[in-house]
Amino acid sequence: MGKNRLFLAVLLAIWPAAAVWADLVVVTSPKSGIERMTREEVVYVFMGRWRQLPSGIPAQPIDSPLDSAERAQFYRQLVNKEPSDIRAYWARLVFSGGARPPVSAQSREEQMRLLASQPGAVAYMERSVVDSRVRIVFEFSASAP
């Protein structure tokens, strides 16, 4: 009986940690001309390697707010980097004139407004908030925390 209770206690303690990861997806405006993107294409857009989307429209990546858990999770899943690593990466690129970082939206509403107003806008968000104003173009695999 003691071992079963201990096992159950450990399982319950671990369960919330596994559930913390949101189901993130990458979205664009339906005006982007993009139906799907590969992981590599998403990396290229969000890490400044591409200035245009595969459809030829100028790319405008949009980040979640700077210190948001969603932003940290996105870059961990996408390139396995911590927020401090991403900030250092962009500091080097901006200093060398190599590229400009994604626009940082201050709220979900601003993110949706930017997606609606810019055909080349690409953002990430929780699947649960996706609606008809955006198109899902990339989904992380279920095993990707």
Cα–Cα distances in Å, from 73 out to 76, 96, 101, 112? Answer: 5, 27, 17, 19
pLDDT at residue 1 greater than cutoff 60: no
- Please give the model's pTM, rounded to 2 decimal places: 0.81
**pLDDT digit string (tens) for 37-92?**
999 999 999 999 998 988 889 999 999 998 899 999 999 999 999 999 999 999 99
Among 1.10.3720.10, 3.40.190.10, 3.30.70.270, 3.40.50.2000, name the CATH number for the domain at 22-139: 3.40.190.10
Return the domain boundaries, the chain. Answer: 22-139
pLDDT at residue 22 greater than cutoff 90: no
pLDDT at residue 15 greater than cutoff 50: no
38/71 Cα distance (integer angstroms): 19
pLDDT > 70: what percent of the chain?
83
